[in-house]
Amino acid sequence: ALNLDASPAGVPGSQDIDPARCPICGAPNGCGRCAEGPETAHCWCEDLYIPRAVLERVPPEAKNRACICRSCLLRGGAVDIRL
């Protein structure tokens, strides 16, 4: 889950993470939690199974700070769990 308030202590560059951009490709990620706020929104990515290999591509300083975009998730094999 995205934690917009997380601030990993001692992680270089962590202040430069844009939660609205994909940490893998840099494109806008369309995160519902970024747009509406973490307490009120549902994000489209919560309906996907995200393979571990995709999550491992996220740089350490961006983990739990920025969502992966739909394109990167689908290229990595994410599948809709609502089916």
Q: 43-62: per-residue pLDDT in tens? A: 788 888 999 999 999 999 99
pTM: 0.71
Query: What's the average model confidence in pLDDT over 19-33?
Result: 90
21: helix, strand or coil: strand
In which element (H, E) is residue 79 found? strand 79-80
Asked if residue 31 lies in contact with residue 22, where contact means CB atoms within 8 angstroms, the answer is no
Is 81's pLDDT higher than 60?
A: yes
- pLDDT for residue 11: 44
Asked if residue 2 lies in contact with residue 38, where contact means CB atoms within 8 angstroms, the answer is yes
- pLDDT for residue 83: 61
